Amino acid sequence: MKRIMLLAVCLLLVGSVFVSSEAAEKKKWRIGFSQCNLGEQWRANMYEELLRAVERHSDELELIHKDAQLDTTRQQAQIREFISNYENGLIDCIVIVPKESAPFTPLVKECYDMGMPTIVADRDVLTDDYTCFIGGDNMVVGRAAGEWMREKMAGKSAKGVELQGMMTTVPAQERNKGFLEAIKGADMEIIFRADANWMEAAGRKEMESALSRFDQIDFVYSHNDPMAHGAYLAAQSAGREKDMLIIGIDGMPHEGIAYVKTGQMDATFVYPSGMDTTIETILKLKRGEKVPKRIMLNTTLYDKDNPNGKTVGTNREIWDLEAERAKN
Ligand code: FRU
Atom of ligand 1 nearest to the CA of 42: 1
pTM (whole model) above 0.75: yes
Above pLDDT 70, what percent of the chain? 92
Indicate the pLDDT class of residue 25, thresholds 50, 70 and 90: low
Q: What is the pLDDT of residue 327?
A: 84
Ligand 1 mean position, distance from CA 161 (Å): 19
Exposed/middle/buried for residue 46 (C-beta within 10 Å: 0-12, 13-18, 19+): buried
Q: Which atom of ligand 1 is nearest to the CA of 225?
A: 9
Query: How remote is the CA of residue 224 from the centroid of ligand 1, in Å?
Result: 7
Specify the 3-state DSSP secondary structure of 264. Answer: coil
Rounded average pLDDT over 134-151: 97
For residue 18, name the pLDDT band (cuts at 50, 70, 90).
Answer: very low
Tell me which of 170, 221, 224 to substitute to probe ligand 1's pocket, judged by most ligand atoms within 8 Å of the beta carbon. Answer: 224
Average of per-residue pLDDT across 182-196: 98
Distance 41 CA to ligand 1 centre (A): 9
- Output the pLDDT for position 10: 47
Asked whether the beta carbons of 140 and 313 are under 8 A apart, the reply is yes
Is pLDDT larger for residue 13 or for residue 267? 267
Gap from CA of 17 to ligand 1 centroid (Å): 47
Q: What is the mean pLDDT of residues 19-44?
A: 82
Mean of pLDDT values over 120-128: 97
Assess whether pLDDT exceeds 70 at residue 148.
Answer: yes
* 285 phi and psi angles, rounded to 5 deg: -60, -40
pLDDT of residue 27: 86
- With bands split at pLDDT 50, 70 and 90, how would you rate the model's confidence at 23? very low
CA-nearest of 185, 31, 36, 197 to 119 is 31
Provide mean pLDDT across the span 243-266: 98
17 pLDDT exceeds 60? no
- Distance of CA 203 from the midpoint of ligand 1 (Å): 14
What does the pLDDT read at residue 2? 54
pLDDT digits (tens, 9 = 90+) for 60-108: 999 999 999 999 999 999 999 999 999 999 999 999 999 999 999 999 9
For the CA of 135, the closest atom of ligand 1 is: 12
Instruction: Pick the closest to residue 135 from 270, 274, 268 (CA basis).
Output: 274
pLDDT at 3: 57
Q: For residue 264, name the pLDDT band (cuts at 50, 70, 90).
A: very high
For 265, the enclosing helix (H) or strand (E) is none
H-helix segments, 194-320: 200-213, 225-237, 256-261, 275-286
Residue 26 has a pLDDT of 53
Residues with CB under 6 A from ligand 1: 37, 40, 42-43, 122-123, 165, 169, 171, 198, 224, 249-250, 271
- Backbone angles phi and psi of 50, in degrees to 5: -65, -50
Atom of ligand 1 nearest to the CA of 169: 12
Q: How high does pLDDT run on average in the chain?
A: 93
Residue 288 scores a pLDDT above 90: yes
CB 236 within 8 A of CB 204: no
From atom 8 of ligand 1, which residue's Cα is the shortest distance away? Answer: 198
C-alpha to C-alpha distance for 120 and 42, rounded to whole angstroms: 17
DSSP strand E in 61-106: where? 61-67, 93-97
Cα 283 to Cα 275: distance, rounded to the nearest angstrom: 12
More confident site: 324 or 285: 285
| Separation of CA 264 and ligand 1 centre (Å) | 20
Percent of the chain residues topping a pLDDT of 90 = 90
Q: Kindly state the average pLDDT of the residues 35-50.
A: 97
Rounded to the nearest whole angstrom, what is the distance from the C-alpha of residue 116 to the centroid of ligand 1? 26
- Kindly provide the b/e burial profile for residues 123-140, where b requires at least 16 CB atoms within 10 angstroms of the residue's own CB: bbbeeebbbbbbbbbbbb
Q: At 62, is the secondary structure helix, strand, or coil? A: strand
- Given a cut of 90, whether residue 193 has pLDDT beyond it is yes
Read off the pLDDT of each residue in 34-44 and give the average, rounded to a whole number: 96
Q: Would the pLDDT of 186 be above 90?
A: yes
